[in-house]
Every structure is written in C-alpha cells, then in structure tokens.
Structure 1
Amino acid sequence: MIQVYHNPKCSKSRECLAVLDASGHDCEIVKYLEETPDESEIKTLVEKLGIKPIDLIRTKEPLWKEKFQGRKLTSAQIIKAIVKNPILLERPIVIHGDKAIIGRPVDRVFDIIG
C-alpha cells in the first residue's frame, strides 16, 4: 500500500492525493502534523528518499527562517527539529515499498506508482 505524508491545508498535498485517487491506488494517509513521526521514522524517510535531512526541510517556512536559518546544524539536529516542529517537513511525501518521493511537482508521483 502507498503511504502519503499529508497536510490537508496544503494544495500540493491535496493534488497529490487526487492523482493517487484518480489512478486507483489505495493510500494510507499520515497526517504528520497530528501523528508526528519520530526520529527513527524521519531517518527512514531520508534513506528511502536518498537525500540529506536538510532536503526534507521547508526552508521558506517562517519557523525555519526564525529559529534555524543560518545556523550550522548537524543531520541529527535537523531531524530533531523536524520531530519537534513537524510543520518543517516537506510535503507531500509518497512512500511505496522501499522507495519514496517528495511529490513536488505533483507529476513526480507517477515515478513511484509506475
């Protein structure tokens, strides 16, 4: 089953779900602002995405700019920041098996659903 880290207030996240729905795929929706992923889950996301933790950050998010931008943070510190402030997590994230993508632009969803 496909898993989607979703923020209902995000238009890109809603578009992603619409594409998945239209393609007939069942999805498990993770409302990550309510069900905050722990450090282990974030590390797994990073591995599946094949990126660095900083690449999971919404760098235009006001909270990032206020508290973290310009600071030299380790990967572990970035992961802790995401866990403590899940609004920083880039979205949507689509996971299918051992692969994952950030669904921006939404067309990237087709890369994971084949």
Structure 2
Amino acid sequence: MKTVIWHNPRCSKSRQTLALLKDKGLDPDIRLYLDNAPSVDELRAVLTKLGLTPRALMRTKEADYREQALGDVSDDAALIAAMAATPKLIERPVVLHEDRAALGRPPEAVLDIL
C-alpha cells in the first residue's frame, strides 16, 4: 500500500512530517484534506487505526469547534460527522501506511508505523 498523508501545506507540523517522510525515501500520496475531505467512513477507519476517540482527533481550539458547540456534544457519530463536514476540525497531519496510521504530532511519531 502507498503511504498517504492528509496534508495542510499551511501547517508547519504537516510540512515537517511530509519532509520527514521524503527524507526516509518515501513518496507519499498527498491528500489536501481541506479540499478533499475524508468521508465519515474514512474517518471511522482512521480513528480505529489511530486508536483515538473522535474528540482526540479534533482541533478543539478552532473557531468552528466553538461555533458548532462541539464541546457540548457527547455523541461520537456527531463528532465524526462534524469533521467530515468541516475538515478544518481534523488534527493534522495524519499519515496512513499499509494498515496503520499515525498522527504527526510530533512529526517523528509517524516513524513508528513505517
């Protein structure tokens, strides 16, 4: 399977993670997830691979998080739907490699799945 990075080029951690992957000789597929948002099913699968709850993958300091009152939401399905509808809420970068996933915070965390 190809390595894929859910990337936001405006994010320093995302840029650092992409550079790290390339330094390791990988040529990942770059998914600009803000333009090509993951579906609810994709998010569920990634959360399973990451071993995270939906809220743990959310950028809780984003204005959209507050505006949508997501801090008051306890339903995981609703949180996942919010990330699919507003991909800016997804913490970045997410790296997928074979059947594993890692969140690049810090960027070196992705080395564990390579």
> Which segments of 5 or more consecutive residues in structure 2 lack a partner in the other structure?
none
What fraction of aligned residue pairs are identical, expressed as a percent? 42
What CA distance in whole angstroms lies between the structure 2 residues aligned with 1:13 and 1:76? 26
Equivalence for 1:35: 36
User: In structure 2, what is the Cα distance between the partners aligned to 1:90 and 1:68?
Assistant: 17
CA distances 1:51-90 after superposition (whole Å, capped 9, x unpaired): 1111110111121123224313300000110011000001
Pairing 1:23–2:24 present: yes
Q: TM-score, normalised by structure 2?
A: 0.93
Return the letter of the residue paired with 2:74. L
Query: 1:27-106 residue pairs with structure 2 within 5 A?
Result: 27-106=28-107
- Structure 2 Cα separation of the partners of residues 36 and 94 of structure 1: 15
Deviates most, 30-39 or 64-73: 64-73
Aligned partner of residue 100 in structure 1, secondary structure: strand
SS of the residue corresponding to residue 8 of structure 1 reads coil
The count of residues paired between Structure 1 and Structure 2 equals 113
Determine the C-alpha separation between the residues in 1 that align with 2:37 and 2:82.
Answer: 12
- Structure 1 unaligned runs (5+)? none
- The question of whether the paired residues in 1 share the 8 Å contact of 2:70 and 2:79 is answered with no
